[in-house]
A and B are shown apart, each in its own frame.
Chain A
Amino acid sequence: MKGWVIGIDVGSLTTDAVIMDEDKRVLSFSIVDTGYNSTDAAREAMTVAAGRAGLELEDVSRLVATGYGRAAVPEANKRVTEIACHAAGAVYLFPDTEMVIDIGGQDSKVIKVGKDGRVQDFVMNDKCAAGTGRFLEVMSAKLKIPLDGMGDISISARGEAAISSVCTVFAESEVVSLVARNCPKEEIVKGIHRSVVNRVWAMTRQLRVSGGVTMTGGVAKNRGVVALMEERVGRRINVPDEPQIVGALGAALFALREK
């Protein structure tokens, strides 16, 4: 087969690859841990994805890299920011998307996007783990609840603990005192999710968008966060089956666009 491309997203936690053919069909994808070497992780992700599609890596016609480690992919024909890639990927999956909320491992972004998939404006949190996947990770470790179990736990909560601080360090101490007071686990987790949502919600308000909202990034897998976010934005939110690979998907679209 000819003309297939790879989009690769080297994130802080995972590295994801998407292989796409000329007709914009996804042939395969992979998600691997980034570990300590971005270049190796990128190679592994690409090899796994190519294997799944039954393709030889050297036959790829174009490769676009995105994500935090995009500079560490020497094979890339082009590098595009994850902001542009998440926008393009979200519109590809959900054409009604006007706003993308990407909550990643170490930062979160809210992107206003046009019908053509191009970025019109964006907001990104700076220098702080509040409102990011990292915040959830810290809390999951503190509460000894696996990260992927947090969503279900919070949905079963009847009440909700109030976590007033947006600072990860202070919020962690709040969680410690909630635990000391025997506050139910589910309620603490829901409070933690609320804190992330409030922080990101404040960012969405800077962009004033009325149309479709799509959530991407690993945190979109957390049903608890998505439910609270839907409550806040007052409408249903599109969540991809594989929210983690939207960046890589966008990168693959860029690879096709400029072939």
Chain B
Amino acid sequence: MSEEYRSMWKDLGLDLEAHDALLAALGQGYKDVFMTQENRPKGMEYFDFVVSQVHGLRVKELLDEKAAGRKVIGSFCVFVPEEIVRAADATLVGLCTGADFATEEVEKYLPRNTCALIKSAFGFKLGKVCPYIESADMIVGENTCDGKKKSYETLGKLVPNLYVMDLPQVKTAGGRELLRTEYLRFKTAVEDLTGVKIDAARLKKGIEIVNNKRKAIHRLAKLRKADPAAISGLDALLINQVFFYDDPVRFTNSVNRICDELEARIAKSEGVFPKGAPRVLLSGCPMAVPNWKLPWIIETSGAVIVGEESCVGERGTRNLTEPKGETVDDLMDAIVERHFKVDCAIFTPNPDRIAHVKEMAGDYKADGVIHYSLQFCQPYIMESIPVEKELESARIPTLRIETDYGSEDAGQLKTRIQAFIEMIGSK
């Protein structure tokens, strides 16, 4: 596929040689991790195709949209409301943050002990290998953790179009007000960028499109309660990752299609793991493409992942925006309300998240929880201890893992995870 897109990548200013190397590694990783799974649902073919075209056809589609006068907005966080972007006929895409790239170059700009996700975002920019960041008309940074917040000061000098959104850190009336002010400011910025005046009808349409996408993911999540599991955790994670890249309407249809297939499988008690296989809930930091290390180790050790309490997963998708009200103000309030519920670890205190992890463990009948923190991700590492304490007092075995995108700890992780699975499997 590479050949037909080379001129497109060149025009975007990508470093073709480095980009070839990246695609080769991604392709090989995908083959090893995903294509070796047995009895995958047929509906996964669509998502395999999307990943195979993630830097190809999908980027071409975005460039075609741009040529037709529409805009592309890149983001790093689920707090950037897609409803508003859609209302202006623009497209929101998640930017690349899931692999180490150009690390030496990155460490000229960021301290070494910065989390892998932030370093990765810089690596893709500095290494000139992310077609999304290069196609974006606007890049939205957001003041979540200190690492991201401060790194945007530096990123702002590397890209011409960074927009920084402030975010509350407390769930008080004042916090809600800040979010509202910032979402209104963002709406104006999107209007200025696109030249589209966002009215109530447009907002309603935007809410509907994004809600449908979330509803499809809710349906998929529910089907993961089945034993035997009809879909692997890796494949379900992949769908949650594609959520951030694909055309929303096409994505929604594809998720619903695979859900039909899964329902048929469940009716026949057909699964990708044997009935009674140990069930694991993943909780913690987001996993962006191609960060599949931990789920791959878990599922090749005989356990099935039944849910992700993560921004790339249920934390990011679980609530709908209530489409109530007829005015722009009402609808903006609904969008604020919806996003204000996201229980990201940047909030203090953040009891909702712990309650949600516990609730998910029960709902998905997890035998244990694996808490994943990226090294140097202070908010989630800090929360991992109270999460573990709370779960263990509820007699839910918990394993805390701290790792990064490198593979040098894979052997140790395998031992810890396999021992954890042996432990929860023998109970």
Measuring CB to CB, which residues of chain A are less than 8 angstroms from any residue of chain B?
Answer: 68, 80-84, 107, 118-122, 124, 126-127
Docked pose: A199 CA to B391 CA in angstroms: 26
A-B contact pairs, 12 of them (CB 8 A): A68-B415, A81-B419, A83-B419, A84-B422, A107-B412, A119-B423, A121-B423, A122-B420, A124-B412, A124-B415, A127-B408, A127-B409
The interface residues of chain A lying within 8 Å CB-to-CB of B422 are 80-81, 83-84, 119
> For residue B423, which residue of chain A has the nearest CB?
A119
Docked pose: A126 CA to B409 CA in angstroms: 8
The 8 closest A-B pairs by CB, nearest first: A83-B419, A81-B419, A81-B418, A119-B423, A84-B422, A127-B409, A124-B416, A81-B415
Docked pose: A127 CA to B408 CA in angstroms: 8
The yes or no answer to B247 lying at the interface (CB within 8 A) is: no
> For residue A254, which residue of chain B has the nearest CB?
B422
The interface residues of chain B lying within 8 Å CB-to-CB of A68 are 411, 415
The interface residues of chain B lying within 8 Å CB-to-CB of A119 are 419, 422-423
Residue among A80, A82, A121, A127 facing the most chain B CB atoms (10 A cut-off) = A127
* Known A68-B411, A107-B412; contact A126-B402, beta-carbon cutoff 8 A: yes
Residue among B402, B420, B423 facing the most chain A CB atoms (10 A cut-off) = B423
Once the chains bind, are A84 and B412 in contact (CB under 8 Å)?
Answer: no
The interface residues of chain B lying within 8 Å CB-to-CB of A121 are 397, 423
Distance in angstroms from A111 CB to nearest chain B CB is: 8
The interface residues of chain A lying within 8 Å CB-to-CB of B402 are 126
> For residue B409, which residue of chain A has the nearest CB?
A127
> For residue B417, which residue of chain A has the nearest CB?
A81
Docked pose: A127 CA to B375 CA in angstroms: 11
Distance in angstroms from A119 CB to nearest chain B CB is: 5
The yes or no answer to B426 lying at the interface (CB within 8 A) is: yes
Docked pose: A82 CA to B418 CA in angstroms: 10
Docked pose: A140 CA to B416 CA in angstroms: 28
Distance in angstroms from A158 CB to nearest chain B CB is: 38
The interface residues of chain A lying within 8 Å CB-to-CB of B423 are 84, 118-122
Residue among B402, B416, B419 facing the most chain A CB atoms (10 A cut-off) = B419
Distance in angstroms from B377 CB to nearest chain A CB is: 15
> For residue B399, which residue of chain A has the nearest CB?
A122
Interface string of B386-427 (1 = CB under 8 A from A): 000000000001000011000011011001101110110010
> For residue A111, which residue of chain B has the nearest CB?
B419
Once the chains bind, are B415 and A83 in contact (CB under 8 Å)?
Answer: yes
Distance in angstroms from B41 CB to nearest chain A CB is: 28
The interface residues of chain B lying within 8 Å CB-to-CB of A80 are 422
> For residue B388, which residue of chain A has the nearest CB?
A206
> For residue A67, which residue of chain B has the nearest CB?
B415
Once the chains bind, are A126 and B419 in contact (CB under 8 Å)?
Answer: no
The interface residues of chain A lying within 8 Å CB-to-CB of B403 are 126-127
Once the chains bind, are B415 and A84 in contact (CB under 8 Å)?
Answer: no
Docked pose: A160 CA to B263 CA in angstroms: 67
Docked pose: A120 CA to B422 CA in angstroms: 10
Q: Which of B409, B411, B419, B426 contacts A122 (CB 8 A)?
A: B419
Docked pose: A81 CA to B409 CA in angstroms: 16
Docked pose: A82 CA to B416 CA in angstroms: 10
Docked pose: A84 CA to B420 CA in angstroms: 9
Distance in angstroms from A70 CB to nearest chain B CB is: 9
Docked pose: A126 CA to B413 CA in angstroms: 8
> For residue A122, which residue of chain B has the nearest CB?
B419
Docked pose: A205 CA to B403 CA in angstroms: 22
Docked pose: A81 CA to B422 CA in angstroms: 8
Distance in angstroms from B297 CB to nearest chain A CB is: 12
Docked pose: A124 CA to B402 CA in angstroms: 12
Once the chains bind, are A84 and B409 in contact (CB under 8 Å)?
Answer: no
* Known A119-B422, A119-B423, A120-B423; contact A127-B415, beta-carbon cutoff 8 A: no
Distance in angstroms from B40 CB to nearest chain A CB is: 24
Docked pose: A47 CA to B312 CA in angstroms: 50
The interface residues of chain A lying within 8 Å CB-to-CB of B409 are 126-127
Distance in angstroms from B2 CB to nearest chain A CB is: 34
Docked pose: A68 CA to B408 CA in angstroms: 13
Q: Which of B397, B412, B418 contacts A126 (CB 8 A)?
A: B412
Docked pose: A83 CA to B423 CA in angstroms: 10
Docked pose: A118 CA to B402 CA in angstroms: 25
Residue among A68, A118, A126 facing the most chain B CB atoms (10 A cut-off) = A126
Distance in angstroms from B322 CB to nearest chain A CB is: 43
